Amino acid sequence: MTELPETPSAAETRLAELEKRRAWAEQLGGEDAIQRHHARGRLTIRERIDGLIDKNSFHEIGKLTGNGTYDENNAVVNVLPAPYVMGLAEIDGRPVAVGGEDFTVRGGTSWGSRRRKGGQGGFVEDLAHEYRIPLVNLIDGAGGTVTSLKSRGYSVFPGVSGFERSVELLGEVPVVAAVMGTAAGGPAGRAILSHFSIMIEGTSQVFAAGPPVVKRSLGQEIDKDDLGGVKIAVETSGTIHNAATDEADAFRQIRRFLSYMPQNVWELPPRTSTDDPVDRGDEGLHTIIPEKRTRAYDMRKLIGMVADRDSLFEIQPSYGKAVITMLARMDGYPVGIIANNPMIYGGAMDAKAARKQIHFMELCDNFNIPVIFLVDVPGFMVGLAAEKDGALREGMRAVYTAGNMRVPTFTLVIRKCYGMAGMATCNKNGLDMKVAWPSAEWGSLPIEGGVAAAFRREIAAADDPQAKEKEIEADLRPFASAFRTAEAFEVEDIIDPVETRPFFCKFVALAYTRMKMSLGPQSRCGVQP
């Protein structure tokens, strides 16, 4: 009996084709395109996803999507992958939806198909929405392109397949956007529709439109880094929250940010174990506040003494520096710390600081992260520049946002707490504790300026007006003592600085128990001032 030559069965042929198609997807835009991309100091989207997620945790979705070419017998010759790679993955063992443009295929421009893998209204957003898991967008695309106009046959209307889902996600699950390359238009917008955004020093830029459009519209010649690099987008405009030194640093920061976040608004943030004792009372807290009340000090150092060791992650460290916003942990429980920074104009709140604080308060409120205010604020920033920037309106928006927060808040007055900016540091709804250090002082305005204004005539009429002003100040100062306010029970307590950490740990733990009863999405009403 002669053996028949082995021919692959139909099933085997189909499996082989599946393998071939998967391999094409792995090749992205081809070797040359990948080399050019690497030469710009950038990783491919597959390398980026690998760099971000837990090892071997990527479950790709839509891998076979692309533009196929076929021979005269309808056999597939090649498939150019769609310029977007996405799927499910894990970060620290927790599922996330992750995706990003593939710059090596047509510069990551949006793809002609009716159904999208990523970008505005893409499937990756549906994944995050349906499974209530965080979304990480690794953005590296130029957005829309007029080249698809002809093939499509019509021009798309802005907002059809727009940002509807992106907007919805902001109330449901943590959304992180990383601008990995140059993002203009839609992709730039998507970066901002996030809870935390990051870009890379030197290699990424973000703007409404890039240099060619700027030149055409305004006749301005400007380099893309000068228009939308870290200096502008992070440090000046606050368009993007944090800067990373390189792509690996961006991935580290994204993982770090997500470690404080719950998977969605229906869950509590995850508690981690810590070996930092709850009753650790750092003696340095007794000496950190200078005796001289006009001398500034390092608030970050103070925060480090109070929070769990190595638990700090600062959001927007280089923008709106009069206020410090940090994610941290107290006995392993995630908290948001909002602290005034006396090193920056005495901590006076300007428009940028207010904007930064508003975003951070909303972030914490949305994701059930209790807020700790460390207060040393002399008031809103004054002067012509501040008025032009709208410091007063932005500051009042901070007051409004603080007043609307539902998450438990704790206020500790370190030194100054004056006026309306002081009101933005606490939420008087519910049982929100306000305590102070013995160094605290407060009021509707500081005695110094207040006396000069209220006793103007009396001071002017005196033989020695300066001495009169000093005399009235000295007369009033004892009444400004924090202890008198505590007598009146307007603050709940005054604590020894070394009791700060135990105090917060105790009440934050209580807050976590309480929050279990009020989880879920928040309906917002009212009009921001």
Partner 1 sequence: MARMEVKSEVTGTVWKIEKAVGDKVAEYDDIMILESMKMEIPAPAPADGTVVEIMVAEGVAVEEGQVLAIVET
388 part of the interface to partner 1, by CB under 8 A: no
What whole-number distance in Å separates Cα of residue 504 and Cα of residue 302? 14
422 part of the interface to partner 1, by CB under 8 A: no
Q: Which region, judged by CB under 8 A, interacts with partner 1, from 72-80, 295-303, 426-434, 450-458?
A: 295-303
* Footprint on residues 257-276 left by partner 1 (CB under 8 A): none
What whole-number distance in Å separates Cα of residue 205 and Cα of residue 201? 9
What whole-number distance in Å separates Cα of residue 189 and Cα of residue 206? 9
**Distance in Å, CB of 394 to partner 1, minimum:** 18
Q: Which of 343, 445, 454, 486 binds partner 1 (CB under 8 A)?
A: 343
CB nearer to partner 1: give 238 or 502: 238
**Distance in Å, CB of 290 to partner 1, minimum:** 8
Q: Which of 295, 453, 488, 527 binds partner 1 (CB under 8 A)?
A: 295
Which residues make Cβ contacts (< 8 Å) with residue 429, sequence separation at least 6?
Answer: 403, 405, 406
Residues binding partner 1: number (CB under 8 A):
15
Structure tokens at 353: 């600081």
* Footprint on residues 197-226 left by partner 1 (CB under 8 A): none
Please report, as a single letter, which amino acid is at residue 72. Answer: E
Q: Which of 232, 268, 296, 433 binds partner 1 (CB under 8 A)?
A: 296
129 part of the interface to partner 1, by CB under 8 A: no
Q: Which of 169, 348, 361, 440 binds partner 1 (CB under 8 A)?
A: 348
Q: Which region, judged by CB under 8 A, interacts with partner 1, from 39-47, 168-176, 177-185, 289-297?
A: 289-297
> Among 109, 111, 86, which Cα is nearest to 99's?
86
CB nearer to partner 1: give 90 or 201: 201
Q: How far is CA 273 from CA 113, 278, 333, 377, in A?
A: 47, 12, 9, 33
CB nearer to partner 1: give 135 or 302: 302
Q: How many other CB atoms sit within 10 Å of the CB of residue 80?
A: 18
The conformation of residue 231, written as its DSSP 8-state character, comes to: I
Q: Which of 292, 463, 525, 526 binds partner 1 (CB under 8 A)?
A: 292
The conformation of residue 294, written as its DSSP 8-state character, comes to: T
Q: Which of 119, 336, 342, 419 binds partner 1 (CB under 8 A)?
A: 342
CB nearer to partner 1: give 340 or 427: 340
Q: Which of 294, 466, 513, 523 binds partner 1 (CB under 8 A)?
A: 294
Q: Which region, judged by CB under 8 A, interacts with partner 1, from 161-169, 179-187, 337-345, 480-488?
A: 337-345
Please report, as a single letter, which amino acid is at residue 453. Answer: A
CB nearer to partner 1: give 453 or 527: 453
CB nearer to partner 1: give 297 or 400: 297
462 part of the interface to partner 1, by CB under 8 A: no
Structure tokens at 196: 């935390």
> Among 419, 416, 343, which Cα is nearest to 380's?
419
Rounded to whole angstroms, the maximal C-alpha distance in the chain is: 130
CB nearer to partner 1: give 247 or 469: 469
What whole-number distance in Å separates Cα of residue 179 and Cα of residue 247? 10
Q: Where are the alpha helices (DSSP H) in 79-223?
A: 123-131, 147-152, 164-169, 186-192, 211-218
What whole-number distance in Å separates Cα of residue 369 and Cα of residue 363? 8
378 part of the interface to partner 1, by CB under 8 A: yes
Q: How far is CA 32 from CA 27, 28, 100, 301, in A?
A: 11, 10, 20, 49
What whole-number distance in Å separates Cα of residue 379 and Cα of residue 351? 12
Q: Which region, judged by CB under 8 A, interacts with partner 1, from 52-60, 278-286, 290-298, 493-501?
A: 290-298
**Distance in Å, CB of 345 to partner 1, minimum:** 5
CB nearer to partner 1: give 162 or 443: 443
Q: Which region, judged by CB under 8 A, interacts with partner 1, from 99-107, 171-179, 207-215, 344-352?
A: 344-352
Is residue 110 a contact partner of residue 279, using CB atoms and an 8 Å limit? no
**Distance in Å, CB of 308 to partner 1, minimum:** 22
Structure tokens at 286: 């007794």
452 part of the interface to partner 1, by CB under 8 A: no
Please report, as a single letter, which amino acid is at residue 131. Answer: Y
**Distance in Å, CB of 295 to partner 1, minimum:** 5
Q: Which of 92, 226, 298, 493 binds partner 1 (CB under 8 A)?
A: 298
Burial class (CB in 10 A: 0-12, 13-18, 19+), 19: exposed
301 part of the interface to partner 1, by CB under 8 A: yes
Beta strands at 84-91 and 94-101: parallel, antiparallel or unpaired? antiparallel
Owner of token pair 């929405």: 129
**Distance in Å, CB of 256 to partner 1, minimum:** 23
345 part of the interface to partner 1, by CB under 8 A: yes
Which chain residues interact with partner 1 by CB under 8 A? 292, 294-298, 301, 321, 342-346, 348, 378
